[in-house]
């Protein structure tokens, strides 16, 4: 009788020397069916993509403090802040979109109508007071860093999460205008059924 060692490669050598050739194949099949196949670990699953945001901020925003209860910046009013660039005072201007009284957040936009007297558009920055031109309110920007109402802030300010002019046009229709003569008549037919 032959003793089988525990290592699989020795099983085959032992079978070859212990059994007659007629039973060799039969026992080789038996050994193969008894010895479990090595477990190969499954490949790691790819990381799941983060879900797309449900909304993004398309305007600038600033978190402010120091506004009395019951007062608010007005939607559509111009806000101003004095900023210093190269030892020269400049005025950053923006148009208020809304005002969140709970969190003190002012979403605003800036465009060519918000330029300073030198014709340049300056971004709001720092902790100088922001003043409403119409409401005459003044507020101090905070240095908050984090997320408020889904808007990420760094040092009290937030920039748009959408890059201007970076989108892709998905549809364009060039429709020629209908030219009408002031003296022409048109016939309109209506079909009304009851």
Could you tell me the two tokens for 128?
A: 């100088």
Residue 45 lies in a domain: no
- Give bridge partners of residue 107 from the DSSP assignment: 61
Residue 9 lies in a domain: yes
Distance of alpha carbon 176 from alpha carbon 34, whole angstroms: 80
Assign 112 to helix, strand or coil: helix
Q: Assess whether 81 and 124 both reside in one domain.
A: yes
Residue 32 lies in a domain: yes
Domain coverage including residue 67 = 60-158
Phi and psi torsions of 58, nearest 5°: -105, 10
pLDDT in tens, the chain (194 residues): 444 444 444 444 444 444 444 444 444 444 444 445 556 666 666 666 766 667 777 899 999 998 877 788 999 999 999 999 889 999 999 999 999 888 999 999 998 889 999 999 999 999 999 999 999 999 999 999 998 888 899 999 999 888 877 878 888 888 888 888 888 888 888 888 77
Residue 192 lies in a domain: no
Q: Assess whether 84 and 129 both reside in one domain.
A: yes
pTM: 0.59
């Amino acid at each position: 009788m032959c003793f089988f060692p525990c290592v699989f490669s020795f099983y085959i050598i032992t079978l070859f020397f212990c059994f007659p050739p007629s039973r060799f194949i039969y026992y080789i099949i038996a050994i193969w069916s008894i010895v479990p196949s090595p477990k190969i670990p499954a490949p790691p699953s790819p990381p799941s993509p983060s879900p797309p945001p449900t909304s993004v901020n398309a305007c600038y925003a600033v978190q402010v403090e120091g506004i009395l209860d019951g007062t608010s910046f007005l939607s559509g009013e111009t806000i101003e802040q004095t900023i210093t660039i190269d030892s020269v005072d400049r005025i950053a201007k923006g148009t208020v979109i809304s005002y969140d009284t709970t969190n003190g957040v002012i979403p605003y936009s800036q465009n060519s109508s918000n330029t300073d007297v030198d014709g340049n558009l300056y971004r709001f920055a720092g902790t100088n007071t922001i003043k409403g031109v119409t409401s005459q309110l003044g507020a101090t920007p905070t240095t908050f860093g984090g997320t408020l109402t889904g808007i990420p802030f760094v040092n009290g300010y937030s920039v748009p999460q959408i890059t201007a002019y970076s989108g892709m046009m998905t549809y364009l229709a060039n429709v020629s205008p209908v030219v009408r003569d002031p003296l022409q008549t048109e016939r309109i037919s209506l079909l009304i059924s009851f």
